[in-house]
Amino acid sequence: ADRVLPHPPRRLPLLGDILDLHVTESSQWAMRDAQRYGTMFERNVLGTRVTYVSGPEEVAAVNDEKVWTRLLGVPLRDLRSVAGDGLFTAHNSEPSWAAAHAILAPAFTQSSMRRYHDSMIAKTALLIDYWTAAGPDAWLNIPADTNKLTLEVIGNVAFGHDFRSFENAAPHELIVRISRVLKYVNRAAYSHPFVEATVFRRARNQHRDDTAVARSLVDDIVRARRVDPSAGRGDLLDLMLSTADPATGERLSHDNIRNQILTFLVAGQETSAGVLAFALHFLSLRPDVVARMRSEFAEVCPTGDLQFDEVGRLRYIRRVVDETLRLWPVAPGYFRKAREDTRVAGHPFEKGEWVFVVLLQLHRHTDWGADADEFDPDRFERGRVPGNLAHLYKPFGTGLRACIGRQFAYHEIVVALALIVRAFDLVPDPRYILKVEETITLKPQNLRLRALTR
Ligand code: HEM
């Protein structure tokens, strides 16, 4: 449609604004440009127009499900090589999305978290033992270790698999493969097939090998369960094998079930691990926040044996998680596509055109106040949140295709943080300066801390 939006000033013929892209830090560059060019700007990428929105007015418009819908952006479309038609990477039009959503959604409600609670507690205890054994002088690789935790949790509750992450220093092969897939897809998203076939030939071949191996490792897990159904204990894999779609009476196919498991590993592991790592970074610098978390924990859970019902009462710890997700939404944005001709902040969009919501910038919009760049969990106190919170804070996406794992992530992260700060004093590396790494999701690069047993 005919609209004129702010854009980088040095537009080149044919190449457009590609000098203004960053291959490995694309979300942080989108935030940087949003700060330069405003809440709605565009880049021309080799002839394709990309519109970026990051103000509450624009975000409210594109989140309207009557007019806009989810678009599978380029990086996620490329993830279909590994997660296929799993929930996260399914196209809106694929019937397998609705079937899997109907079968799986009941397992992700807040009350369903009761079933996963013990497992989350037990796996966090393993992390605590692992850090205790490392001793007070060890510099812990925080992103690697939070990944171990979330892998153990999701492996256990989704398909009853013990990856033994805390028994081995090196990550499990499946995780090595999946991490490399995410990294490759993040970099290659806007690359040209010719470039991938030449300059990045080895990486591309490795990528093909990684996706094939990841799929076959998970195929084995699904097949083993079919052979011995008694091995499951009511986990998500059991649910998928035994439940029919209420609308059609059909079961999910083998391929679809494998894709859902890969989806949980892709969507539900690095994300939660990233939030935990960012939170631990902030907490290592803020003993005042840690002290309040501890006193809340002592009040809510005097026995020290954290029960399911108590987790919801850890309100301050929850605000720590919310504030972490505000500053570093580990899924840093999402795509929306117009279902009809429409307008956003007065600018015309034709049916089929799309935008990228820059969560990193929306979450630092001036409506959050002049201190929007500061870490302050109290801003999520009732009565203090901005009146337009619903359009200023979207870490789990929006609408029908919003995150199915939201309650899961909150429960898992609140439990882990509560038990970690009870067990340890976290010591920062005085030389560490936060640098954020992007592998589709975000994580604090090379964050290392020491953990002193209290
Ligand atoms: C979708 C964020 C944890 C499973 C999404 C989306 C976002 C998101 C933003 C929508 C993406 C889009 O519109 O393109 C997060 C964050 C997490 C988290 C920030 C951690 C704090 C989890 C967990 C699971 C999970 C723990 C599973 C156990 C999914 C699935 C979808 C999804 C399956 C696709 C839903 C659908 O389209 O039907 N997530 N997620 N996520 N997430 Fe999460």
SS3 labels along 87-133: CCCCCCCCHHHHHHHHHHHHHHCCCCHHHHHHHHHHHHHHHHHHHHH
Does 89 participate in catalysis according to the annotation?
Answer: no
Nearest CA to ligand 1 atom 4: 405
C-beta of 424 in contact with ligand 1 (< 6 A): no
Alpha-carbon dihedral sign for residues 7, 10, 16, 19: negative
C-beta of 332 in contact with ligand 1 (< 6 A): no
- In DSSP terms, 44 is beta-bridged to 49
Residue 23 pLDDT exceeds 80: no
What is the CA angle 322-325-326, rounded to 5?
Answer: 85
Task: Measure 397 CA to ligand 1 centroid, in angstroms.
Answer: 8
C-beta of 403 in contact with ligand 1 (< 6 A): yes
Rg over alpha carbons for the chain, rounded to the nearest Å, is 22
Of 88, 159, 335, 396, the active-site residue reads 396
C-beta of 330 in contact with ligand 1 (< 6 A): yes
Does 88 participate in catalysis according to the annotation?
Answer: no
Confidence at residue 321, expressed as pLDDT on a 0 to 100 scale: 98
Residue in 91, 271, 322 to alter for ligand 1 test, most ligand atoms within 8 A of Cβ = 271
Confidence at residue 168, expressed as pLDDT on a 0 to 100 scale: 87
> How confident is residue 76, by pLDDT bands cut at 50, 70 and 90?
confident
Confidence at residue 240, expressed as pLDDT on a 0 to 100 scale: 94
Domains of the chain: 1-453 (1.10.630.10)
> How confident is residue 194, by pLDDT bands cut at 50, 70 and 90?
confident
Atom of ligand 1 nearest to the CA of 263: 33
* Cα separation values, 88 from 71, 266, 381, Å: 11, 9, 31
Does 301 participate in catalysis according to the annotation?
Answer: no
Which pair of tokens denotes residue 246? Answer: 């209420």
C-beta of 356 in contact with ligand 1 (< 6 A): no
Task: Measure 372 CA to ligand 1 centroid, in angstroms.
Answer: 25
Nearest CA to ligand 1 atom 32: 403
Kindly indicate whether the ipTM for this predicted assembly is greater than 0.95, answering yes or no: yes
Task: Measure 266 CA to ligand 1 centroid, in angstroms.
Answer: 9
Residue 235's closest CA among 124, 108, 87, 102? 108
Contact in structure between 82 and 183 (CB atoms under 8 Å)? no
Residue 12 pLDDT exceeds 90: no
Contact in structure between 104 and 387 (CB atoms under 8 Å)? no
pLDDT tens digits, 379-391: 999 889 999 999 9
Task: Measure 335 CA to ligand 1 centroid, in angstroms.
Answer: 13
* Cα separation values, 173 from 179, 218, 365, Å: 10, 11, 40
Taking residues 404-419, what's their average pLDDT?
A: 98
pLDDT tens digits, 207-248: 999 999 999 999 999 999 999 888 777 899 999 999 999 999
Residue in 403, 407, 411 to alter for ligand 1 test, most ligand atoms within 8 A of Cβ = 403
Confidence at residue 196, expressed as pLDDT on a 0 to 100 scale: 84
Residue 204 pLDDT exceeds 80: yes
Confidence at residue 193, expressed as pLDDT on a 0 to 100 scale: 81
Task: Measure 429 CA to ligand 1 centroid, in angstroms.
Answer: 31
Taking residues 179-195, what's their average pLDDT?
A: 83
Confidence at residue 345, expressed as pLDDT on a 0 to 100 scale: 96
| Total-model pTM | 0.96
Taking residues 250-267, what's their average pLDDT?
A: 94
Confidence at residue 327, expressed as pLDDT on a 0 to 100 scale: 98
**91-125 in b/e burial notation, b at 16+ Cβ within 10 A?**
eeeeebbebbbebbeebbeeeebeebbebbbebbe
**Least-confidence region, from 47-61, 65-79, 295-309:** 65-79
pLDDT tens digits, 271-309: 999 999 999 999 999 999 999 999 999 999 999 999 999
Residue type, 325: L
Residue 186 pLDDT exceeds 90: no
